[in-house]
Amino acid sequence: MSHDTLRRPRPVKTTGRPSAARTAGRRRHWTRRPNPLAGIGSVLWLAVVIVPIYAMISSSLTHQDKALGKNALVPPTDPTFDNYNTVLHNGFGHLLLNTVIVAAAVVAIVLVLCIPLSYVAVRSRTFWSGAAFRLFLLGVAIPAQAVVVPLYLMIAKLNLYDSLLAVILPTAAFAMPVSVLILTGTLRDISEEMYEAMALDGASTTRMLFQLVIPMTKGGISTVVIYSSLQAWNGFLFPLIFTQSDGPRVLTLGLFNYVSQFGVNIPALLASVVLSGIPIFAVYLVARRALVGGLMGVGGK
């Protein structure tokens, strides 16, 4: 019996709201009383968030010839999907496919490299594992802008210029520091006893990785999946500098090019912005807790 429990440890939910914490929150005297000032503030911020999004959607449904001079806050009299059609017939599918490929590759690279790394950073007591962890701590603050020129030279020398790989490799590298922070954060919550029990069971460190570490850090891993795919999805600088032709063009760069392509057709431009956000929004609806719960831990206390 004990062996079974050891080999399949129940993942600790770090992302959801445990019911105990919830009840504790309910007991908070100061959260029970209404706070009018905070209430007003939150509604004001809601307006700041909602109004631009509303104006974007409403304008994207407006006929192009009626858009100029019309207040974007007034809903369109006869909504139309023409703008969406225009965007979809201007290579949007191709951009989307490229972006999905980039995101999937980035996620795969980040997971394969970061999970063992974080496992060692937390578990190993050697100088080198500590140094590796510090390297990624420092890495959090490296701005992509600072390295884009030398990377351009490297990409050119590697014959990767104007390919999807030219976008994938640096994007994955720059998603690693935060991913390592998220993973080490969740890994530290696995108790020493668990490892000892598995060691008694004769498990190798590799088996511990697959049967203890990975199942126990599912919350952190899903955060990393979402975080790194978001980085890939929203990345702009690397595609801008490292690609040129239509072939490897991704969504963000496509949006940027729509500015010159559609010119004054702002409704079509906004329709493309809406379309670019829909896939990520869908993921957010499904996996909100994994994302929010994981990112919440980044700051510590």
Partner 1 sequence: MSSSATARTKGRPGGGVRTGRPHAAWVLPGVLFFTFFAVAPMVLALYLSFTKWNGLGDPQPVGLANWQKLIHDPRLTQSLTVTVLLTVVSWAFQTVLSLLLGVWAAGRQRNRAVLSAIFFVPFLLSSTAISLLFYALLDPNFGIIHGDTLGTTSGAFLAIVFVGGWQFIPFHTLIYQGGARQIPEVLYQAAAIDGAGRYRQFFSITLPQLRNTATTSSVLMIVGSLTYFETVLILTQGGPGTDTAILPYLMYESGFKSYDLGYASAIASFLVVAATALSLVLVKLSGFGNMRSTREGM
Using CB under 8 A as the binding rule, whether residue 183 contacts partner 1 is answered as no
Other C-beta atoms closer than 10 Å to the C-beta of 91 total: 15
Binding mask 117-146 for partner 1 (x = CB under 8 A): x-xxxxxxxx-xx--x-xxxxxxxxxxxxx
Q: Provide the CB-side half-sphere exposure for 62 (13 A, CA).
A: 25
Q: Provide the CB-side half-sphere exposure for 152 (13 A, CA).
A: 14
| Residue 149: both structure tokens together | 């020129």
Query: Of 56, 105, 164, 182, which one interacts with partner 1 (CB under 8 A)?
Result: 56
Distance between CA atoms of residues 278 and 224, nearest Å: 20
Query: Of 15, 61, 67, 243, which one interacts with partner 1 (CB under 8 A)?
Result: 67
In 3-state terms, what secondary structure has residue 96?
helix
Using CB under 8 A as the binding rule, whether residue 216 contacts partner 1 is answered as no
In 3-state terms, what secondary structure has residue 188?
coil
Query: Of 15, 61, 72, 105, which one interacts with partner 1 (CB under 8 A)?
Result: 72
Interface with partner 1 in residues 76-115 (CB under 8 A) = 109, 112-114
Using CB under 8 A as the binding rule, whether residue 19 contacts partner 1 is answered as no
Query: Of 98, 216, 252, 290, which one interacts with partner 1 (CB under 8 A)?
Result: 252
| Least spacing, CB of residue 221 vs partner 1, in Å | 15
| Residue 283: both structure tokens together | 């993921």
Using CB under 8 A as the binding rule, whether residue 40 contacts partner 1 is answered as no
Residues 6+ apart with CB under 8 A from 226: 283, 287, 290, 291, 294
Query: Of 101, 195, 211, 218, which one interacts with partner 1 (CB under 8 A)?
Result: 195
